[in-house]
């Protein structure tokens, strides 16, 4: 297997693992093998320290006080926004709204954009590989506006089936909402092609970046997306960090989202006026320390280089697919790592994924088992659930080997 | 070995050779439910005769724990009155909550499920069929959700 001998382009995994305190842990007397980064990534010391340093040395509310600490807090918070903007190729920090993550970002657009601009006869085009968080907010918006949902189907290989794109994406379509990377199949849809097709019929394009942004170099300007949702905790950052990128013209035109402090310009008895973008969408005290932590995560990823991150994940994903297939597992989604990321769903022999996860845990191996908030995908491929191993910068081929060895043990329990 | 606590022989036997895994023709009471966390599905069918659960079947898909629990349940409540069945449901829930110490006399094979208590995330799997049976006895159908056009 040539794949196993290839070296990552520039990622010193052994060295960077030392930055992640949790990787020292043992589970059931064995070293932790953490293969669930698609659910949430582990955090390097640099991120943990940045969040702690904020509380220890700079804590104050951002955009409120007129004293030095408040200025420091505001500067750190806004510096994180600038880092995130640059990280995804956004033209200006003001195009980034801080949110709790992708779910809140999608809901923000579903409330402040869809409910304002959609009405009966309008359509939203989704795909059958969307996470529930990129389906349910649109169902709720459709219910409230009278708009209709359409779905792009999937091929047997786990790709978007674009055969009927022309009849599904029409002048009635006002929004195409598509994942940047499937969290169960790993598929990387052709985003540039889809964005162009959406714009050609006058629709906007929203990309669910939960799995994309942590793993693949992203340039929203080159992709020409209208909205990109970003999860901080899946890219080495703290939980409840993240954001929404939106083109300035859309953010300006949209309604407010949550009402509260700081999102207003002036408040009267019967109405209020809104603060400038992006503050119009940031009501109440935000997750300041968490976004500062996200800034540190971005520094960390920048230092590694996103090209190197992607190359490492292509290598380990190829190795994992080979090893799992050899071991008799059915792997879902594309096998070509050029068009997929490192979330690898599989079914091992006849062992139900929940049983597999329990048995693997005895060996210290943490995988996800279930429908991964992808019930449409599960239905499409005729399974109630899958097991999923997902990889990030700190994972090694040795950990893939530990997974495969633990699978054999599961086989023994059920066949023995 | 800890895994023996959960994957007892009787559980694996009921998983591989489920009892009463069929739709019951003429069932007056049925209920379907899934575990939204994991996607396990169970449908329970009950045909009553002379105030007793005369025929009990289930259909479903899921892990060894939920499916074996359903299989054992169909045998355990066969011939019971509603009150007796509900009493057993309560005792099973109590056992899975760690509040009831099971004895072989009243629990029979179901004692095997006690090992699952050590695996908190799997307790829901074991209890799911019993929840479905309870709701079937209460005449509930399926859970409702959002419907869009």
Distance of CA A172 to the CA centre of its chain: 28
Q: Compare CB distances from B125 to A140, A354, A384 and report the shortest one's residue.
A: A354
pLDDT category at A9 given cuts 50, 70, 90 is: low
Q: Compare CB distances from B146 to A139, A352, A378 and report the shortest one's residue.
A: A139
Instruction: Measure the CA–CA gap between A180 and A184, rounded to whole angstroms.
Output: 12
Global pTM value: 0.92
Indicate yes or no: CB of A354 within 8 angstroms of CB of B62.
Answer: yes
Pairing of strands A30-31, A26-27: antiparallel
Q: Compare CB distances from B38 to A28, A142, A370 and report the shortest one's residue.
A: A370
A373 is catalytic: yes
Indicate yes or no: CB of A354 within 8 angstroms of CB of B122.
Answer: yes
Determine the residue of chain B that is closest to A359 in CA distance: B3
Question: Per residue in B91-135, pLDDT tens?
Answer: 999 999 999 898 888 899 999 999 999 999 899 999 999 999 999
Determine the residue of chain A that is closest to B41 in CA distance: A384
Determine the residue of chain B that is closest to A413 in CA distance: B7
The CATH class for the domain spanning A2-31+305-415 reads: alpha beta
Question: Per residue in A170-195, pLDDT tens?
Answer: 999 999 999 999 999 999 999 999 99
Among the listed residues A158, A214, A195, A206, the one whose alpha carbon sits nearest the alpha carbon of residue A340: A158
Q: Which of the residues A145, A146, A355, A412 would you substitute to probe the B interface, choosing the one with the greatest number of B C-beta atoms within 10 Å?
A: A355
In sequence order, which residues have a C-beta less than 8 Å from that of residue A285 and are 6 or more positions away? Answer: A61, A261
pLDDT of residue B5: 84
Indicate yes or no: CB of A139 within 8 angstroms of CB of B148.
Answer: yes
Question: Per residue in A35-86, pLDDT tens?
Answer: 999 999 999 999 999 999 999 999 999 998 899 999 999 999 999 999 999 9
Question: Per residue in A291-333, pLDDT tens?
Answer: 999 999 999 999 999 999 999 999 999 999 999 999 999 999 9
Indicate yes or no: CB of B2 within 8 angstroms of CB of A28.
Answer: yes
pLDDT of residue A6: 44
Determine the residue of chain B that is closest to A120 in CA distance: B149
Distances, alpha carbon A390 to alpha carbons A123, A207, A313, A320, A357, in Å: 33, 21, 10, 10, 13
Indicate yes or no: CB of B6 within 8 angstroms of CB of A148.
Answer: no
Distance of CA A371 to the CA centre of its chain: 17
Q: Compare CB distances from B63 to A136, A352, A375 and report the shortest one's residue.
A: A352
Share of chain B above pLDDT 70, in %: 92
The CA distance from B13 to the nearest CA of chain A, in Å, is 10
Q: Compare CB distances from B146 to A140, A358, A369 and report the shortest one's residue.
A: A140
Phi first, then psi: give them for residue B31, nearest 5 degrees: -155, 140
- Considering only CB atoms, which residues of chain B are within 8 Å of chain A? 2-3, 6-7, 12, 37-41, 61-65, 119, 122, 125, 146, 148-149
Q: Which one from A88, A218, A373, A400 is the annotated catalytic residue?
A: A373
Indicate yes or no: CB of B146 within 8 angstroms of CB of A136.
Answer: yes
Indicate yes or no: CB of A385 within 8 angstroms of CB of B6.
Answer: no
Say whether pLDDT at A1 is over 60: no
The CA distance from B32 to the nearest CA of chain A, in Å, is 15
Distance of CA A397 to the CA centre of its chain: 23
Instruction: Measure the CA–CA gap between B95 and B87, rounded to whole angstroms.
Output: 12
Q: What is the mean pLDDT of residues A281-300?
A: 98
Share of chain A above pLDDT 90, in %: 95
Share of chain B above pLDDT 90, in %: 72
pLDDT of residue A338: 97
Tell me which fold the domain A48-303 belongs to: 3.40.640
Contact (CB, 8 A) for A170 and A197: no
Say whether pLDDT at B1 is over 90: no
Q: What angle do CA A379, A383, A388 make, to 5 degrees?
A: 110
Q: What angle do CA B88, B132, B54 make, to 5 degrees?
A: 60
Say whether pLDDT at A2 is over 70: no
pLDDT of residue A8: 45
Q: Which of the residues A28, A358, A387, A416 would you substitute to probe the B interface, choosing the one with the greatest number of B C-beta atoms within 10 Å?
A: A358
List the single range of A284-288, B18-22, B104-108 with lowest mean pLDDT.
B104-108
Query: What domains, with CATH codes, occur in chain B?
Result: 3-137 (3.90.1010.10)
In sequence order, which residues have a C-beta less than 8 Å from that of residue B39 and are 6 or more positions away? Answer: A370, A371, A375, A378, A384, A385, B62
pLDDT of residue A38: 98
pLDDT category at A384 given cuts 50, 70, 90 is: confident
pLDDT of residue B128: 95
Among the listed residues B88, B133, B136, B85, the one whose alpha carbon sits nearest the alpha carbon of residue B113: B88
Determine the residue of chain B that is closest to A123 in CA distance: B149
pLDDT category at B146 given cuts 50, 70, 90 is: very low
Tokens matching residue A362: 């005895």
Tokens matching residue A90: 């956004």
- Pick B61 or A204 by higher pLDDT: A204
Question: Per residue in A330-341, pLDDT tens?
Answer: 999 999 999 999
- Considering only CB atoms, which residues of chain A are within 8 Å of chain B? 28, 136, 139-140, 142-143, 148-149, 352-355, 358-359, 362, 369-371, 375, 378, 384-385, 413-414
**CATH 3.40.640.10-classified regions of chain A:** 48-303
């Amino acid at each position: 297997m040539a794949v196993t001998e290839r070296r990552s382009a520039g990622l010193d995994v052994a060295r960077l693992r030392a930055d992640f305190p949790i990787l020292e842990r043992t589970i059931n007397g064995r070293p932790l093998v953490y293969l669930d980064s698609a659910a949430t990534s582990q955090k390097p010391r640099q991120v943990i320290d940045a969040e702690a340093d904020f509380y220890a040395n700079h804590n104050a509310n951002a955009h409120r006080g007129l004293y030095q600490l408040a200025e420091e807090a505001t500067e750190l918070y806004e510096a994180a926004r600038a880092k995130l903007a640059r990280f995804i190729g956004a033209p200006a920090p003001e195009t980034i709204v801080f949110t709790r993550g992708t779910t809140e970002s999608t809901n923000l657009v579903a409330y402040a954009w869809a409910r304002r601009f959609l009405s009966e006869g309008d359509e939203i085009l989704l795909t059958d590989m969307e996470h529930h968080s990129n389906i349910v907010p649109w169902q709720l918006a459709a219910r409230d506006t009278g708009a209709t949902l359409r779905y792009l189907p999937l091929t047997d290989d786990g790709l978007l089936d674009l055969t009927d794109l022309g009849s599904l994406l029409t002048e009635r379509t006002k929004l195409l909402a598509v994942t940047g990377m499937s969290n169960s199949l790993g598929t990387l849809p052709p985003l540039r092609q889809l964005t162009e097709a959406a714009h050609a019929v006058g629709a906007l394009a929203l990309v669910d970046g939960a799995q994309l942004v942590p793993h693949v170099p992203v340039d929203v300007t080159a992709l020409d997306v209208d909205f990109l949702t970003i999860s901080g905790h899946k890219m080495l950052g703290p939980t409840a960090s993240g954001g929404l990128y939106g083109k300035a013209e859309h953010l300006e035109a949209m309604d407010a989202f949550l009402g509260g402090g700081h999102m207003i310009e002036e408040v009267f008895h019967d109405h209020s006026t809104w603060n400038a973008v992006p503050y119009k969408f940031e009501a109440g005290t935000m997750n300041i320390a968490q976004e500062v932590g996200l800034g540190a995560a971005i520094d960390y990823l920048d230092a590694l280089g996103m090209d190197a991150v992607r190359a490492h994940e292509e290598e380990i994903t190829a190795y994992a697919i080979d090893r799992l297939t050899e071991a008799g597992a059915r792997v879902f989604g594309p096998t070509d790592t050029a068009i997929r990321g490192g979330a690898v769903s599989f079914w091992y022999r006849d062992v139900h994924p929940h049983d597999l996860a329990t048995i693997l845990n005895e060996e210290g191996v943490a995988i996800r088992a279930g429908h991964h908030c992808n019930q449409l995908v599960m239905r499409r491929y005729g399974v109630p659930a899958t097991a999923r191993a997902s990889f990030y910068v700190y994972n090694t081929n040795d950990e893939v080997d530990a997974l495969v060895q633990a699978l054999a043990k599961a086989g023994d329990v059920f066949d023995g | 070995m800890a895994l023996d606590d959960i994957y007892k022989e009787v559980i694996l036997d009921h998983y591989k050779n489920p009892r009463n895994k069929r739709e019951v023709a003429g069932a007056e009471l049925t209920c379907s439910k899934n575990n939204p966390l994991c996607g396990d599905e169970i449908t329970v069918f009950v045909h009553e005769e002379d105030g007793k659960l005369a025929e009990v079947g289930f259909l479903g898909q899921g892990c060894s724990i939920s499916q074996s629990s359903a299989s054992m349940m169909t045998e355990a409540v066969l011939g019971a009155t509603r009150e007796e069945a509900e009493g057993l449901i309560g005792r099973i829930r109590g056992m899975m909550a760690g509040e009831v110490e099971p004895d072989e006399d009243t629990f029979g094979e179901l004692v095997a499920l006690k090992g699952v208590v050590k695996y908190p995330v799997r307790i829901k799997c074991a209890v799911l069929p019993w929840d479905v049976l309870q709701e079937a006895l209460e005449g509930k159908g399926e859970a409702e959700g959002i419907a869009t056009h």
